[in-house]
Amino acid sequence: MASLRDIKSRINSTKKTSQITKAMEMTSAAKWNRGVMNAKAFVPYMEKIQEVTAAIAIGSKGINHPMLVARPVKKTAYIVIASDRGLAGAFNGNVLRRVYQTIQDRHKSNDEFAIIAIGRVVRDFFVKRGMNVELEIIGVSDQPAFVDIREITSSTVGMFADGTFDEIYMYYNHYVSAISQEVTEKKLLPLSEIKPSGKLTSYEFEPDAKAILEVLLPQYAESLIYGALLDSKASEHASRMTAMKNATDNAKELIKNYTLMYNRARQAAITQEITEIVGGAAALE
């Protein structure tokens, strides 16, 4: 049985741990609130650029842009979005397991695919398994701006345009609620399935539809990546907040149990001392 000193030490260390997890929970709660606002604020832009792109791509006949046309697949890129650190429950593990299993099912050789890692955990996971990480970005802000990932998004789209990749998929955690996030797969390129969010609007183009698509399609693809990152960040903060709340609750339960154990051990020690005193007094009579 543990001594009173050992139990007291456990109580103190668990209290310190609960203070840390509580502080992390509060920090994540503030980041989560702002992250959700950022993700929601980006939705109207996404819907509008999707509407315009769909109107041009569908409404203009005879335009065959390379980003709109599927081609024989020789190499696939997987954009995987997770975090730079752990302590976020199943946030990282769920998306990594999904991507890893998908790759195992679809490909027989490392030459058939490449990873574009957004997040230190993603990079380390695939490098450790000897998989090709073509591009990476770590240290992304908790409230990212588009400029933070402009280089990797433009490089990714450019590698599709020059034929390095024949298709690109994105994997990330989609934010549903504070306690629910869903691993989502989205085909980024080719943009063969652009669908308008509502009724198609008629536009007049200057100089012409083809010239506009040359500029608009890369921006649309890049905005999809940025939108997924904002969604993932909101999910990350929510997941870490929930994980830290659970850790704090567990610590409180441990403190309660240790305190009960300490009181029982202390009572037993006092009873033992009284018994010894009474026994000693009786022996002197």
The answer to whether 234 touches 36, Cβ cutoff 8 Å, is yes
* Res 33: pLDDT: 93
The amino acid present at 254, given as its one-letter code, is: L
The CATH superfamily holding the domain 35-240 is: ATP synthase, F1 complex, gamma subunit (3.40.1380.10)
Query: What predicted TM-score, i.e. pTM, was given to this entire model?
Result: 0.87
Burial class (CB within 10 angstroms; exposed 0-12, middle 13-18, buried 19+) of 241:
buried
Task: Write down the residue that tokens 């403190």 correspond to.
Answer: 255
**What span, in angstroms and rounded, lies between the C-alpha atoms of 75 and 87?**
34
Each domain of the chain, given as residue ranges in start order, spans 35-240
* Res 207: pLDDT: 73
The answer to whether 84 touches 119, Cβ cutoff 8 Å, is yes
Q: In the 3-class helix/strand/coil scheme, how is the chain assigned residue by residue?
A: CCCHHHHHHHHHHHHHHHHHHHHHHHHHHHHHHHHHHHHHHHHHHHHHHHHHHHHHHHHCCCCCCHHHCCCCCCCEEEEEECCCCCCCCCHHHHHHHHHHHHHHHHCCCHHHEEEEEECHHHHHHHHHCCCCEEEEECCCCCCCCHHHHHHHHHHHHHHHHCCCCCEEEEEEEEEEECCEEEEEEEEEECCCCCCCCCCCCCCCCCCCHHHHHHHHHHHHHHHHHHHHHHHHHHHHHHHHHHHHHHHHHHHHHHHHHHHHHHHHHHHHHHHHHHHHHHHHHHHHC
* Res 175: pLDDT: 94
Q: Residues for the chain: how many in total?
A: 285
* One pLDDT digit (tens) per residue for the chain, 285 residues: 578 888 889 999 999 999 999 999 999 999 999 999 999 999 898 888 888 877 777 666 656 777 888 889 999 999 999 999 988 989 999 999 999 999 999 999 999 999 999 999 999 999 999 999 999 999 999 999 999 899 999 999 899 988 899 999 999 999 999 889 999 999 988 886 666 555 666 667 677 777 888 888 888 889 999 999 999 999 999 999 999 999 999 999 999 999 998 888 888 878 877 777 777 766 766
Q: For the packed helices 209-284 and 146-161, what is the interaxial angle rounded to 10 degrees? A: 130
* Res 63: pLDDT: 67
